A and B are shown apart, each in its own frame.
Chain A
Amino acid sequence: MIAETELIAQLKDPLTQDQAFRSLMSQYKERLYWHIRKIVISHDDTDDVLQNTFIKVYRNINNFKAESKLYSWMYRIATNESITFINKRAKQNNLDLNDMQYKMAENLEADVYFDGDEMQLLLQKAIAKLPQKQQLVFNMKYFDDLKYQEISEILETSVGALKASYHHAVKKIELFLTQ
């Protein structure tokens, strides 16, 4: 694995860009995939958003100023693409965003790419009920085990606010699961 500064330089150099881009995708595809999947739920939609994310990274790499880590930047793009996707889906279905996400979580039972048990299904429904920001924080903290500082760089929110978000998210999930 090459150093990040070197990878960025290669990504910006037309001579080495394509090879470096392949290497970038190979390194980050799984992490980004699972992050997106937790937001958009279905595999097919995740595939679309993941590809759009990488395409956006490729097209905008020259605008990347290295003020944050490359991964944080990509994670941010993936988050925005995912949210744009579900917002669009909600509008198409004339549904409120949360209602749309809950509907998507309900459909998991019939999804061939979901083999979770009843409790995991219930957890997905509980998460879908949370406000968008709390969903993101909960998923990144609970499932991805990211540190608050890393989440802060991605969501551009203070660590204190993230901790409070996580606290509220957990409380709401507890309430939902024990109803």
Chain B
Amino acid sequence: MKKRKLEHKKLKEKGFKAPVGYFDTVEDAIFAQLTSEKFPEKEGFSVPASYLKEVENNVLKKLGKEKIQKETGHKIPKAYFETIEDRVIAKLKDEKPVAKVIDFRSLLLKRLIPFAAAASLLLFLVLNSNRDDISLDNVATTEIEQWIENDLIALDAYEIAEVYSDVELDNQDYFGDEEIIDYLDDMNVESIILEN
């Protein structure tokens, strides 16, 4: 009789229930527990097992405060966070244009022509001292440019500097520190060091 009762289909159902969604989360919970118990020792560092859990409370006890107050004390201006996006976008749109590359060659030639012309005229006069029709106007500008370009007129750095005596270096727009740092970041600095 008992045996028949035990074999009854309904009795074979366990009657237990699991919480809704339990089996969707149980794996994560197990992995989280396993992970939190692991303390890698590859570097050889170790600390007392319970120290890290208690350290904050220990410090605060010494400070005379039991509650954890993680306020740094820093304040911010009102509505600061409401305007930051607009200011960043404006800054991006306002980015400085790339510095214009000055055509140094034409600038040099313009400045040096009178100087070179005088030097060449003097040479010409010395060599042709018996002629009356010599003048600066007879020496074409293009000829003087060619002399300079072909290194036929020797000009040293001091002579060039004299031509630019009105230029104040301090007033020049050089690249700012940030631009230089950005440039260096992009460069392969090691190769420059090796080259030198």
Contacts and interface: CB of A to CB of B under 8 A. Distances in A.
Given A25-B84, A38-B72, A173 B59 contact: yes
A177 B84 contact: no
Contact of A159 (B40, B58, B59, B181): B40
Interface stretch (A2-10, A71-79, A94-102, A114-122): A114-122
Interface residues of A, number: 47
Interface string A51-86: 100110010000000000000000000000000100
Contacts of A54: 88
A145 B39 CA distance: 19
Contacts of A18: 89
A143 to B, nearest CB: 5
A117 B74 contact: no
B62 A29 contact: no
B63 A37 contact: no
Interface in A11-61: 18, 21-22, 25-26, 29-30, 33-34, 37-38, 43, 47, 50-51, 54-55, 58
Binding site secondary structure of chain B: helix
B179 to A, nearest CB: 13
B85 interface: yes
B89 A22 contact: yes
Contact of B62 (A114, A163, A177): A177
Given A55-B92, A143-B70, A164 B47 contact: yes
Interface of A: 18, 21-22, 25-26, 29-30, 33-34, 37-38, 43, 47, 50-51, 54-55, 58, 84, 88, 108, 112-117, 119-121, 124, 142-143, 145, 158-161, 163-164, 166-167, 170, 173-174, 177-178
